[in-house]
């Protein structure tokens, strides 16, 4: 599929399993976890998160508050990304989670190459935070949220999302707990392929 695709990093949420704060701002090898995600995604154009945008100022990207701020969950962040991209005249976004620093660098190209309105990454299970979305779906997504849809997977299944298998060794390892952060630091120490 041709056309521009804008990377949106989902960085909101409550980080309850981590004990609060922003998982993306935790240190991993001398830089924040989200810096790894921004670099790997390659086409990052915005960060999706509620709260004070100043905490992300160092990345030089717009910080998008959730389109439905009282609606917890990453789908509201996806909608914010779609609304922002539509305003920029960009037809498609690809989303990545700010707490997942080791996915392949060609992820956006792999998802963007599939000609479908919703493309979900999978590797030993679905990873709905990693997906490509046509922004033309935003009014449908808004309506679904208002109607009570909460889980990304439910909405994507309703849309008949195409699945793309992403290669790699546990490519969507994500940092939810302090033990996960320790494991990520150990993985980083394994070699330059993870930096």
Ligand X SMILES: Nc1nc2c(ncn2[C@@H]2O[C@H](COP(=O)(O)OP(=O)(O)OP(=O)(O)O)[C@@H](O)[C@H]2O)c(=O)[nH]1
- Minimal distance, residue 31 CB to ligand X, in Å: 17
Residues 41-60 that bind ligand X (CB under 6 A): 48-49
How do 5-10 and 44-48 pair as beta strands? parallel
By the rule CB under 6 A, 128 interacts with ligand X: no
Question: Is the separation of the CB atoms in 120 and 131 below 8 Å?
Answer: yes
Of 7, 41, 67, 77, which lies in the binding site for ligand X, with binding defined by CB under 6 A?
A: 77
To the question of whether residue 182 is assigned a binding role by annotation, the answer is no
Q: Among all chains, which residue has been given the structure tokens 């999302």?
A: 161
Q: 139 vs 2, 59, 62, 67, 79, CA distance in Å?
A: 22, 29, 22, 11, 9
Place of tokens 């001398």: 30
Spatial contact of 97 and 103, defined as CB atoms under 8 Å apart: no
Tokens of 41: 């995604």
Q: What angle do CA 159, 141, 36 make, to 5 degrees?
A: 90
126 binds ligand X (CB under 6 A): no
Find the binder of ligand X among 10, 121, 156, 188 (CB under 6 A): 10
Residue among 122, 149, 176, 195 that touches ligand X (CB under 6 A): 176
151 binds ligand X (CB under 6 A): no
Confirm or deny that 66 is annotated as ligand binding: yes
Residue ranges for the known binding site for GTP are 10-12, 23, 66, 99
Residues engaged in binding ligand X (CB under 6 A)? 10-17, 23, 48-49, 66, 72-74, 76-77, 97-99, 129, 176
Residue ranges for the known binding site for Mg(2+) are 99
């Amino acid at each position: 599929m041709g056309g521009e695709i804008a990377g949106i990093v989902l960085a909101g949420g409550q980080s309850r399993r981590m004990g609060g704060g922003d998982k993306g701002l935790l240190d991993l090898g001398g830089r924040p976890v989200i810096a790894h995600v921004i670099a790997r995604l390659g086409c990052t154009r915005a960060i999706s998160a509620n709260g004070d945008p100043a905490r992300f100022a160092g990345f030089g990207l717009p910080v998008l508050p959730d389109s439905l701020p009282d609606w917890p969950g990453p789908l509201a962040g996806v909608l914010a990304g779609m609304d922002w991209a539509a305003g920029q005249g960009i037809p498609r976004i690809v989303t990545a989670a700010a707490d997942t620093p080791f996915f392949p660098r060609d992820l956006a190209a792999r998802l963007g190459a599939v000609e479908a309105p919703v493309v979900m990454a999978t590797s030993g299970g679905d990873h709905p935070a990693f997906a490509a979305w046509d922004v033309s779906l935003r009014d449908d997504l808004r309506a679904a949220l208002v109607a009570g849809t909460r889980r990304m997977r439910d909405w994507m299944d309703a849309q008949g999302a195409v699945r793309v298998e992403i290669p790699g060794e546990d490519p969507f390892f994500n940092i939810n707990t302090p033990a996960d952060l320790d494991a990520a630091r150990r993985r980083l120490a394994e070699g330059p392929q993870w930096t």
